[in-house]
Amino acid sequence: MFAALLTCALLAPPVSALDLPMSGEVTATSALVQTRPVSGRGTQAGHFELATDAAFTDPREGEWRLAVGPLTGTMPRQDGTMVDASGDGIVRERFDGLKPDTRYFYRWQPDHAEPGRTGTFRTLPGADSTARVSFAVVTGLNYARWQSSDVTEEEKARGYPMLEAIQQSDPTFAVFTGDTVYYDTPVEGRAETREAMRAKWHENFAQPRFREFLAHVPVFHMKDDHDFRRDDADRTGDDAPSPELGIDVFREQVPVVPQQIAFGAEPPTYRTVRCNKDLQLWFVEGRDDRSPNRMEDGPGKTLWGEEQYQWLTRTLKESDATFKVLVSPTPLVGPDDRRKRDNHTNIGGFRHERDRFFSFLEGEGMIDSGEFLVICGDRHWQYHAEHPISVHEFSSGAIHDANSRAGRRAGDPQSTDPEGKIVQHYLMGRESIISNDGEGLEQYGAPPRGGYLFVRTDRGRWRGGEEEPRLHLIFNVSNESVPPAERNRLKSRVYEYYWYRKDGR
């Protein structure tokens, strides 16, 4: 393992020596962009430049016609040197007033140096448009386990192959549901200080595939236990890192909140985004306001916090989107391991809040109509499961093979569904893949594989009637053990589900 880490360190420069453009929180009219400016004179004062697809020629040589700038931003300056709010060399800017469904390019322009690397994003179509939207969902990156895996040293140095595969599929954006870094892995030398926690993000982002991915695919970032404090972490205990530090470093490292309010103030990191006429997503926060995991389950125990719960139910009721998708760092349906008490599926965990929420969905008709479903991360296997009251959940699974495991079957005494009430439409990583379409997918069976979930909206005349919307939910598995030259000819899609409104809307 030491040799693998050393090889990667030699081939991939430290993140502090990189210009790292990335974008996030893209809507129809706004986006956050950030980078880590680097020049021969060190980090300098400057501003972000933004150009539209039509105005952009060559990022180094062509003339930039600025779409909404030049914005000098909100970064304070002192003696000609930019003072970044993070202390980690990061600058971040929010752009508003953008055009829907439009390609933008951006870069950092120092006041007295060459411009930085170019990043790009596309704004969302917005609530009045039926233009197609697609996104990928990933979780469980676990850099240390990837570096100790059986793939070649060259592959380890380049980074996670699934990021390259996702980028080739040209999604509108990606969702990282959490566990993007693991502060507690490996156990020896776990990250407990701000600098050590930053280093975890640095080693991930220094990978060439990650650098390219972030420059080309906007991301909605979420956090879970491993990139908060430790496995199954809540806010209890005096061990490092503290909850406050975990919250702060997450806001510092990735574009989730504007930088001028990212440090010190604490705006919520739960939010909703309207993608197009047919799709709205809700990203919930599962660590900041949760009750202790070991607290007895009941009306006073919450994973989301009452303020977030009221926001979630209110905004779901207000939405007129065809499909309403809750994206959760942790599962609500499962089944999961019986031993845990960390999430909404766990016996003795947070089931009371889950059942309260499901009762709300039933009362509003969102289950019978087919307008609501759940996408989750956290679990290290892919599945599509249906709760007894017909709430469907799709788990993305871990991104690479070394961090994947076999999933729990419904009816397993060691699962959270020992009575077998949950319907498992698809489950990866036991004796074989369980699939409801029977189209030769058994070849992918055990052992467990890494992968990702790909989702896209579509409209057409599929069921003999008028044009109608649907979602495609597609599980893809990793081909990381296959030589790179042979990957393109191999099938990675193992399961696809077409999601329609049941009420014909």
Asked if pLDDT for residue 265 goes beyond 70, the answer is: no
420: left (phi over 0), alpha (psi -120 to 50) or beta: left
pLDDT number for residue 489: 61
Residue 169 exposed, middle or buried by CB count within 10 Å (0-12, 13-18, 19+): middle
pLDDT digits (tens, 9 = 90+) for 461-486: 988 888 999 999 999 988 787 777 77
**Structure confidence at residue 47 (pLDDT):** 82
Quick one: pLDDT at residue 30?
95
Written as six digits, the tokens of 409 are 């079957």
Q: What pLDDT does residue 210 have?
A: 97
The C-alpha atoms of residue 169 and residue 472 are separated, in whole angstroms, by 14
Q: What pLDDT is attached to residue 261?
A: 57
Q: 59 preceded by cis ω (within 30°)?
A: no
Residue for token digits 């640095």?
202
Burial of residue 189, with CB atoms counted within 10 A of its CB: 0-12 exposed, 13-18 middle, 19 or more buried? exposed
Q: Give 206's DSSP letter.
A: T
- Which segment of 70-84, 215-229, 455-469, 483-497 scores lowest on mean pLDDT? 70-84
Range of weakest confidence among 125-134, 148-157, 385-394: 148-157
Give the confidence band of 45 by pLDDT, cuts at 50, 70, 90.
Answer: confident
Q: Is 316 left (phi over 0), alpha (psi -120 to 50) or beta?
A: alpha
What mean pLDDT do residues 358-363 have?
Answer: 98
Q: What is the model's pTM?
A: 0.90
pLDDT of 325 > 80? The answer is: yes
Residue 12 has pLDDT above 80, yes or no: no
Mean pLDDT taken over the chain: 86
pLDDT above 90 (res 332): yes
Q: What integer is the mean pLDDT of 64-76?
A: 39
Query: Per-residue confidence at 216, pLDDT binned at 50, 70, 90?
Result: very high
The string of pLDDT tens digits covering residues 286-305 is 999 999 999 999 999 999 99
Nearest to 86 by CA among 200, 194, 220, 179: 194
| pLDDT, position 418 | 97
Least confident of 42-46, 87-91, 364-368, 396-400: 42-46
Burial of 500 (0-12, 13-18, 19+ CB in 10 A): middle
DSSP secondary-structure letter at 213?
H
In one letter, which amino acid is 399? I
CA distance 79 to 413: 66
Looking at residue 108, what is its pLDDT?
86
Contact 228, 200 (CB under 8 A): no
